[in-house]
Amino acid sequence: MNSSSARPAYKRTIFCLLIITLFTTFCWARSVQLRQPWIVPTFLSDSPHRGTAGTQLAAVNNWLQEGFFKLRFSAYRYPHSVETSTIDKRGFYASYLPGSQYPLYFLFKLLDLTEIVPDIYEKRGMQLLIVIFWNYLLQFLLALMLCISAFVVCRKLGFDNLNATLLALVPAIIQFHNAVSLYWHHLSLFHDISVLLPFASFVFLEILRTTSTSPCVLLIIRVAQPLLIFVGMLVSWVFIFIVLTTYIIRILSKEINLPISLRQGMQWLKQSFLFFIPSVAAVAFWVYQIASHMQRVPQADLATMATSGDRLDLVTNFMFRTGFADGFEHILYYLKNSLFSLLLNGYGVGGVIMLYAVLYMTARRCKFMQNKAGTANLAMKSYLMFFIPCIACYLFFVQNYGDHLFSPILLSPALSLGFVFAPIFILQMMKKNYLMAAAVLVNKKSLTLVALLSLSSSIVYGYSQIYSKKPITKFFSPPAFYHTTIGAFVSKNTDYQDVLFSQDYHNDLSSHDLSVTHFHNKLMHFAANLDWVYYKTKSIAGDHTIKIFYFSYRKQAMQQLADFLAQHDIHTHQLEKEKVGTLLSFDGQQFRIWYEQAHECGTYPQRCQAESSGLNLDLSGHRRLLKW
């Protein structure tokens, strides 16, 4: 082809990509408008899912307050306070590398430098908006990457620009009309959300690598793919399976030759080393964070770490995530939960059928993977790279994904491309010569029929997801604005020396629900009575103040406790905010001395040796203290 004819073809491709980008932008803007009523209130609702973002926001704000390098780039969930004075009590998160939080740190740091909102409470509200629009941006870029991937694959299969463009619009329709994608890309920032864009970008580059002949493009891919592997591994362990799937596909495609002779063995070792070194570097960084954390744990606490959360994370977390810790029957239960129930709940019958049908059609043609003639296998390889790593991750960490409602989000790229590739696979399987592209075997009218079939089915699916069962109202919770008012009240009236309790409004260490911590930057423990208060504070060294939060309507119960403590010479102070609640405060050391004397802890130590959780207290018939 001469340069004069190549130029119009290049311009037509640019025009098609522009149409795809504009359509994706339109669908994205419509999805933002659809979610507009919940832009901030979602985080302020009573939904249990708000904790997925709250945990990560707590870690980012710890970096901002104490220093990114001081905390060794590690995620600590609990703010620095008198009750979390040492590093082993800060809630070190060892399950994943905190790569999903790093962009937020730099965005929040930029917010600090601008000093637009100097008040810390207002700044926390701005952080929520930043997280929401960062999530929206990730979803837009993910959908655009999937659309461009579909366009490239269809063009390589022989589709003309018009039909390839029609097919490339399908992923945008699915991404922005699916309840799972809309909800989890809203505010629930976590690893499996943040990894989707690096995931799709890596597969797109792999598609280009196998189809492009441009030296410049191939050079960019050689540099970009290792960087994406390293970034992806910093975010989520699903990238382990993405890397392994790519490696196996390259072996089956004869791009990496297994060693037969010594010379081939050295070549294979070199190829494998260069391929896996980004993954090894990311794992080494994770090990460094763990070792750094363990090194800073006070020596006096090392003996008791066998029962602590940190030791649980580092030693047995792997077993719990895989489900092997509870036996084979437990694994089967979570397998059913994660691969069927959760997918059915998130994607509906149509989505589940599409995912498994495309996998089945792809599996039937796997025997042709070794063929390098033509491009008929390109769609199959592309789909496998989006589907197989997710399934492998589900099967390997079966309990982890069976426990979490957000687990279907990993399959959203495969679902989106499934609506593109399903008609192509059906058309290819109807032909006798599987090794040729579908476009070579049929005329343009048939290709247009395939494109319209994919487009119409995606529209029907998207409409049913949004309007038939109204999943948006099912996923999103009504706003609960008392989170902001309580947060403002508590943040202005507490400091490092305070330990917070409440019976109705709490986010203690065991619940890991740190979303309410975002506004007042303090842990608020649950306490059913004074026994709970004692067992939470008895190990705190030094002076501290106990503060108990009551809602306004519980003023009578608060006064009863204040009177009870006054009878035992414990002075209390009340700080009330109209229509919000009251903070009842008293000296922690004075309370502990009185409690131990009242329970005769010196004579009967078993009365004061219950676990710090405060559960299942057995005081051997001793008089219980007042329950408020």
Question: Three-state SS across 547-603?
Answer: EEEEEHHHHHHHHHHHHHHHHCCCCEEEEEECCCEEEEEEEHHHHHHHHHHHCCCCC
The pLDDT value recorded for residue 621 is: 35
Q: What is the pLDDT of residues 449-497, one digit of tens each?
A: 778 888 888 888 888 877 765 555 566 766 666 677 787 788 888 888 9
**pLDDT band at residue 143 using 50, 70 and 90 as cut-offs:** very high
Tokens representing 276?
Answer: 């896996």
Token code pair at residue 494: 């507490």
CB 178 within 8 A of CB 184: no
User: What pLDDT is recorded for position 344?
Assistant: 78
Angle subtended at Cα 82 by Cα 540 and Cα 86, rounded to the nearest 5 degrees:
85
Buried b (16+ CB within 10 A) or exposed e, 376-406: bbbbbbbbbbbbbbbbbbbebbbbbbbbbbb
> Taking 80 as the threshold, does the pLDDT of residue 234 lie above it?
yes
d(CA 2, CA 45): 62
Q: Are strands 498-502 and 545-551 parallel, antiparallel or unpaired?
A: parallel
Residue 532 has pLDDT above 90, yes or no: no
> For residues 197 and 443, what is the distance between their CA atoms, to the nearest angstrom?
35
Give the per-residue pLDDT at 205. Answer: 95
* Mean pLDDT, range 355-381, rounded to an integer: 67
Please give the DSSP secondary-structure letter assigned to residue 231. Answer: H
User: Does the pLDDT of residue 283 top 60, yes or no?
Assistant: yes
- DSSP conformational letter for 341: I
Q: Which residues 6+ apart lie within 8 Å of 14 measured at CB?
A: none
DSSP code of residue 195: T
Residue 301 has a pLDDT of 54
pLDDT at 136: 92
pLDDT in tens, 292-342: 888 777 755 555 544 444 444 555 566 666 666 566 666 777 776 666 777
Q: 509 pLDDT exceeds 50?
A: no
pLDDT for the residue 439: 46
pLDDT score of 280? 93
Strands 581-587 vs 572-577: parallel, antiparallel or unpaired = antiparallel
Cα-based torsion angle of the residue sequence 102, 107, 108, 109 in order, rounded to the nearest 10 degrees: 90
- Per-residue pLDDT, 489: 85
Q: What is the pLDDT of residue 239?
A: 94
DSSP one-letter code for 76 = B
Percent over 90 (pLDDT), the chain:
20
- In angstroms, the CA 86 to CA 64 distance is 18
Instruction: Output the pLDDT for position 385.
Output: 92
**Mean pLDDT, all residues of the chain:** 79
pLDDT over 90 (residue 520)? no
Top pLDDT among 193 and 94 is at: 193
Low-confidence winner among 357-366, 543-552, 612-621 (lowest mean pLDDT): 612-621
The top-scoring range by mean pLDDT among 4-8, 538-542, 586-590 is 586-590
CA dist 131 and 125 (Å) reads 10
Average pLDDT for 120-131: 75
Whether 38 has a pLDDT exceeding 80, the answer reads no
Alpha helices, DSSP H only, in 195-308?
A: 196-211, 215-235, 238-252, 262-296, 299-302
**Nearest alpha-carbon partner for 343 in 284, 377, 394:** 394
- Tens of pLDDT, residues 577-620: 878 888 999 999 999 989 888 887 877 776 676 544 444 444 33
- Tens of pLDDT, residue by residue over 245-272, are 999 988 888 888 777 777 777 888 888 8
Provide the token pair at 104.
Answer: 């937020």
544: Cβ–Cβ under 8 A, 6 or more apart, which residues? 82, 83, 497, 498, 499, 537, 588, 589
Burial grade of 448 (CB within 10 A; 0-12, 13-18, 19 or more): middle
Average pLDDT over residues 21-42: 84
Highest mean pLDDT among 69-83, 370-384, 394-408, 424-438: 69-83
What percent of the chain stands above pLDDT 70? 76
Taking the CA of residue 593 as centre, how many other CA atoms within 13 Å lie in the half-sphere pointing to its CB? 10
Long-range contacts of 31-34 (CB under 8 A, 24+ apart): 31/139, 31/176, 31/177, 31/182, 32/136, 34/182, 34/466, 34/472
Question: Tokens standing for 604?
Answer: 């009967």
**Alpha-carbon span 191 to 104, nearest angstrom:** 13
Res 461: pLDDT:
86
Mean pLDDT of the region 415-433: 77
Tokens of 240: 């382990």
Query: Tokens 């901002």 label which residue?
Result: 64
Q: Is the pLDDT at 204 greater than 90, yes or no? A: yes
Using alpha carbons, select from 576, 405, 542 the residue that is nearest to residue 85.
542
Q: Say which residue, 427 or 452, is predicted with more confidence.
A: 452
Residue 256 or residue 120, greater confidence? 256
Structure tokens at 341: 């129930």
Helix H or strand E encompassing 421:
helix 412-429
CB atoms within 10 A of CB 255: 13
At residue 511, the pLDDT reads 45
